[in-house]
Structure 1
Amino acid sequence: MKIDLILMAAGNSRRFGSNKLLYEWRGKKLYRYMFDALVEAAEGLPQVRVRVVTQYEEILKMAEELAKREAPGFLTGVYSPESVKGLSYTIRKTLDFEAADPPEAFAFFTADTPEFSSSDIREFLEAFLASGRPLACVRCGETYGNPAVFSWKYAPLFQVLTGDQGGKKVLNQLLDDCFFYELPEGSRRDIDTPEDL
């Protein structure tokens, strides 16, 4: 199955107080943890591509430079300056780009989950494919959401999102069709404030 892994690296970091994606943590900028994990997970998997959507020129430039070293089309940076207006703008920009060569499924990953590894990503995708369901998401205890993978047939549902609405709004409409990939509670940590590091 042709699947695109989409790194959402365009957030405004309002609660963090500065651009958390470019914050140096344990010797590496925060966004690089998920970026590196996605590239490692996708390499060697047939028909899996990586997209990096961002409003930040530094992240875009990094993606474009690395894309030159990869197979054509494997890695692409998508510039989304309107992401400053909210998450829905990031999603629409990405899916508008994808529509030119749509995958069978697309998966959203946030750039502020540095402990989600390449093996976690592969296992999540393998479980989704084995499930036969048209979408899947991670669940830790009672909490569910990102990362999530959707069949391309659901792409139109994302086009009506506004402001800071994201994939969770679409996911909540489709829970009966969703495969939940269980992780131990607390194992998927988002970085929202400096205290979370």
Structure 2
Amino acid sequence: MKLALILLAAGDSRRFNGNKLLHEFNGKPMYQYILEEVEKLPDDIFDRKVVVTQYQEIMSCMSDYGYEVVVNEESSLGISHSIHLALEVLENEETDYCFAVCDQPYLKAATIRDLVRGWRNSGKGIGCLCNMGALGNPAIFSKNYLKELLKLEGDVGGKRVIRRHIEDLYLHEVVDGLELVDIDVRKDSES
């Protein structure tokens, strides 16, 4: 079965007090960290790469790297809207889905690769990263979960589906919990 990478990069960054995805974090825009790590992965790990965003800079950069750009003009509808937009683009494709966010600057390519391999070998329908019991992104869903993902509403993401199907979940433990940290609040030293 094919696997599509879906990068979610349309958020309004309400808690961040500014656009966190374009914010310079240790010398480069935050969204570029995941882009650079995905570039280190084997070419055959993802069959398609999609980014959902409302930001022109991200659209331009990602299309240069071969991503299909899906424009989210209604980000106020929450993360579920970005999920729906991506799934609509992929709906006629026989593929599974790997969702990742663009505000985890410490996530490493090897961790993404090991998650995908471990999930494929597990025979489970869902896979995600975790650290000491805390669930994190990326998260992978087999096509069997398409209808449930399309029923998500508001600012609710795939964790709701994961929690309903713990018996079908492959957890990939991350040794360094920093990899799962998403940057939601601007530190004074970064502004």
**TM-score of the superposition, structure 1-length normalised?**
0.89
Give the letter for the 2:119 counterpart: F
Q: Distance in 1 between matches of 2:94 and 2:87?
A: 9
> For residue 71 of structure 1, what is the aligned residue in structure 2?
none
2:156 pairs with 1:157: no
CA contact (8 A) 1:141 1:185 kept: no
- The residue identity in structure 2 corresponding to 1:112 is D
CA distance in 2, matches of 1:102, 1:39: 24
What is the identity, as a one-letter code, of the residue corresponding to 1:61?
S
Query: How does 1:17-56 map onto structure 2 within 5 Å?
Result: 17-41=17-41, 43-45=42-44, 48-56=47-55
Aligned equivalents of 2:8 and 2:48: distance in 1? 14
RMSD: 1.7
Amino acid at match of 1:132: G
For residues 110 and 7 of structure 1, the distance between their equivalents in structure 2, rounded to whole angstroms, comes to 6
Bigger CA drift: 15-24 or 1-10? 1-10
Letter matched to residue 169 of structure 1: R
Please state whether the residue corresponding to 2:140 is helix, strand or coil.
strand
Query: Which residue of 83, 103, 121 corresponds with 2:75?
Result: 83
Is 1:99 matched up with 2:91?
A: yes
Kindly provide the amino acid, as one letter, of the partner of residue 100 in structure 1.
Answer: N
Name the SS of the counterpart of 1:101 in structure 2. coil
Unpaired stretches in structure 1, ≥5 consecutive residues: 68-74
**44-53 or 141-150: which moved more?**
44-53
Specify the alignment match of 2:164 in structure 1.
173
Once residues 84 and 59 of structure 1 are traced to their aligned partners in structure 2, the CA distance between those partners, rounded to angstroms, is 18
The superposition leaves residues 94-145 of structure 1 with CA deviations (integer Å, 9 ceiling, x where unpaired) of 1011113341x11111101011111111111111111111111111112113
Identity over the aligned pairs, expressed in percent? 35
Name the amino acid aligned to 2:34: M
Contact kept? 2:3, 2:45, Cα under 8 Å? no
Secondary structure in 1 matching 2:92: coil
For residues 132 and 119 of structure 1, the distance between their equivalents in structure 2, rounded to whole angstroms, comes to 21
1:69-98: CA deviation from partner (whole Å, max 9, x where unpaired)? xxxxxx311111122321111110110111
Runs of 4+ aligned structure 1 residues displaced above 3 Å come to: none
Is 1:108 the counterpart of 2:96? The answer is no
Distance 2:23 2:45 in 1: 33
Tell me, yes or no, if the aligned pair for 1:39 and 1:50 is still in contact at 8 Å: no
Q: Partners of 1:137 and 1:101 in 2: how far apart?
A: 22
Shift of 1:35: 1.8
What is the DSSP-based 3-state SS (H/G/I as helix, E as strand, rest coil) of the residue aligned with 2:6?
A: strand
Counterpart of 2:132? 141
Matched-pair contact (CA < 8 Å) for 2:127–2:170: yes
Aligned AA (2:60) = K
The 10-residue stretch of structure 1 (178-187 or 24-33) with the greater mean CA deviation from structure 2: 178-187
Q: Tell me, which stretches of 5 or more residues in structure 2 are unaligned?
A: none
Letter in 2 for 1:60: M
